[in-house]
């Protein structure tokens, strides 16, 4: 299932919180160009595992390299993206996105005492569970049991998932003070909010003529400050981020529609088919017309 985000970069999670607030994903990278997902966020927790390749998991400004067998816990409301950096075959990368309400109601004592402090800890945006760390072995086993239960959905699978998520939170709570902290200053937190606003503008207006000034104005900052924010979180300029997003949309349209290159070019904000083709080839390494033949 591909990552779906709205214009505010919030991932659209298909689970029904009133039924069972856990969603299981697998093989997402196979559907993403260059095996890389977009920068996004959601008000839920996330756990993901590298299986066969090496994964670069960006959380905020931090790049965490996951080797096969490593898992990562990503806190709620944090900008993050994923990218496979080794192997030609897409890593299955099983992952779950879930609400803490799967353990207990948000207004209850259990949630407020054991889950809320984790969710509100800005200095703990992620926790890595390494496959070769004996202390993490039990947690990784719990994570794999969750994946197995969510995949098979046999009788009582919800209880298995709930029990293991509860145990993971218990482990985090008991070791809360020992996890490495990523101290985020007020400036860094503010920058993340600015990036959200500017990317939201890009995602909402990419079909139009968009200038650097337009992007900066979305966050009420100068063009130079906009450049600094994008370079810190995405390693590129605001205009480059705009082009990247237009190309991501074009890649999807090439796969899912029969629109001509000219139609896709204009629909994605490019006013020249030749320029669109050059940028596409530069980004993905092959011409846009070849995308449908590759089946990517």
* Tens digit of each residue's pLDDT (9 = 90 or more) over 278-291: 999 999 999 998 87
**Number of C-beta neighbours around residue 286 at 10 A:** 13
Residue 82 has pLDDT above 80, yes or no: yes
For the chain, residues classed under CATH 2.60.120.280 are 22-174
14: exposed, middle or buried (Cβ count in 10 Å: 0-12, 13-18, 19+): exposed
**Span 221-245, mean pLDDT?**
94
Helices 238-256 and 223-234 pack at an angle, to 10 degrees, of 60
Scan for tokens 């697998």, then name that residue.
26
d(C-alpha 163, C-alpha 168), whole Å? 9
Task: Kindly indicate the confidence band of residue 33, based on its pLDDT and cuts at 50, 70 and 90.
Answer: confident
CB 124 within 8 A of CB 118: yes
Query: Residue with structure tokens 């202390």?
Result: 135
- CATH code that applies to domain 22-174: 2.60.120.280
Q: What is the pLDDT of residues 166-219, one digit of tens each?
A: 999 999 999 999 999 887 667 777 888 899 899 889 989 999 999 999 999 999
CATH 1.10.10.60 domain span(s) along the chain: 186-294
Q: Strand, coil or helix: what is 23?
A: strand
Fold exhibited by the domain 186-294: Arc Repressor Mutant, subunit A (1.10.10)
């Amino acid at each position: 299932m591909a990552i779906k985000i709205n214009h505010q970069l919030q991932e659209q999670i298909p689970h029904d919180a009133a039924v069972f607030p856990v969603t299981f994903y697998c093989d997402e990278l196979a559907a993403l160009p260059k095996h890389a997902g977009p920068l996004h966020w959601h008000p839920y927790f996330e756990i993901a595992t590298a299986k066969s390749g090496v994964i670069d998991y960006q959380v905020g400004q931090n790049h965490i390299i996951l080797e096969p067998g490593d898992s990562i816990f990503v806190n709620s409301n944090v900008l993050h993206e994923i990218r496979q950096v080794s192997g030609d075959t897409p890593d299955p990368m099983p992952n779950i996105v879930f609400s803490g309400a799967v353990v207990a109601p948000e207004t209850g004592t259990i949630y407020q005492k054991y889950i809320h402090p984790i969710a509100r800890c800005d200095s703990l945006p992620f926790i890595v569970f390494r496959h070769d760390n004996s202390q993490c072995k039990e947690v990784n086993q719990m994570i794999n049991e969750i994946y197995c239960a969510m995949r098979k959905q046999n009788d009582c699978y919800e209880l298995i998932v709930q029990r293991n998520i509860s145990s993971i939170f218990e482990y985090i709570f008991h070791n809360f003070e020992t996890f490495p902290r990523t101290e985020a200053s007020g400036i860094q937190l503010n920058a993340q909010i600015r990036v959200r606003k500017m990317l939201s503008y890009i995602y909402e207006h990419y079909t139009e003529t968009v200038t650097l000034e337009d992007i900066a104005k979305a966050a009420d900052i100068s063009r130079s400050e906009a450049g600094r924010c994008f370079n810190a979180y995405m390693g590129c300029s605001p205009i480059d981020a705009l082009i990247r997003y237009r190309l991501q949309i074009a890649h999807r349209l090439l796969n899912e529609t029969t629109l001509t290159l000219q139609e896709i070019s204009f629909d994605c904000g490019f006013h020249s088919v030749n320029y669109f083709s050059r940028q596409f080839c530069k980004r993905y390494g092959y011409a846009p017309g070849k995308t449908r033949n590759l089946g990517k």
